[in-house]
């Protein structure tokens, strides 16, 4: 998807696993140390161009929280406005596949929805995953 509704063939994937065993899953137990890694595959026309990569997480735990990852890997509360969204990664030349470390933390009971995207520095729409990557913690 794109922020302006224009077509895109960019793709986004994520994988979550237990830090202790590298066992992939989308369901974990309260207190598990979980690592989530994302992959951004930009449109072919965008490869080689400077871009910002974004990570947004919606946490539905005892409360609902929307946050983004900043350049230092910190989780920053976010109001949902594109103008206030900051990049997790800046790249001077997009590769055909860009890896993003989303987080490696101990999670509490709840549901976590992960959104990834990129935007060219020269302008244009934000490309992002239309279907969220979701993990649950019981």
pLDDT tens-place string over residues 79-99: 999 899 999 999 999 999 999
pTM to 2 decimals?
0.93
pLDDT category at 6 given cuts 50, 70, 90 is very high
**Structure tokens, 85:** 């969204």
27-28/133-137 β-pairing: parallel
Percent of the chain whose predicted confidence (pLDDT) is above 70: 100
Domain residue spans in the chain?
11-137
CB-count exposure of residue 37 (10 Å: 0-12, 13-18, 19+): middle
- Name the CATH topology of 11-137: Immunoglobulin-like (2.60.40)
């Amino acid at each position: 998807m794109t922020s302006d509704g224009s077509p895109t063939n960019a793709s986004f994937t994520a994988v979550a696993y237990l830090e202790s065993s590298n066992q992939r899953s989308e369901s974990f137990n309260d207190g598990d140390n979980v690592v989530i890694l994302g992959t951004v595959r930009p449109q072919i026309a965008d490869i080689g161009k400077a871009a910002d990569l974004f990570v947004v997480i919606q946490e539905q735990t005892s409360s609902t929280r929307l946050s983004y990852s900043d350049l230092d890997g910190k989780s920053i509360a976010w109001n949902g406005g594109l103008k206030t969204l900051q990049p997790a990664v800046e790249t001077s030349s997009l590769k055909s596949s860009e890896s993003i470390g989303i987080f490696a933390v101990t999670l509490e009971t709840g549901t976590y929805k992960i959104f990834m995207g990129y935007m060219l520095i020269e302008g244009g729409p934000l490309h992002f995953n239309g279907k969220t990557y979701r993990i649950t913690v019981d």
